[in-house]
Amino acid sequence: MNNSDTKISSVPSKSLKVAPERKKELLEFCSNLGINFKNLNLLDLAFHHRSFSNESTEFFHYNNERLEFLGDSVLGLVTADFLYNDMAGNPEGDLAKIKSNVVSEKSLAPIALNKMHIDRYLVLGKGEELTGGRQKAAILADAVEAVIGALYLDSGYDEARKLVLELIVPEIRKVQQDKGNRDHKSLLQEYYQKKSKECPVYELVKKSGPDHDRTFWVTVHLGNESYGPESGKSKKSAEQNAARKACVALGVERD
Catalytic residue positions? 72, 145
CB 218 within 8 A of CB 202: yes
Number of CB atoms found within 10 A of residue 88's CB: 7
Question: Whole-angstrom Cα distance, residue 119 to residue 112?
Answer: 7
Integer Rg of the chain from CA: 24
Cα–Cα separations (whole angstroms), residue 135 to 81, 114, 147, 210: 31, 12, 17, 44
CB 217 within 8 A of CB 229: yes
141-158 b/e (C-beta count within 10 Å ≥ 16 → b): bbbbbbbbbbbbbbbeee
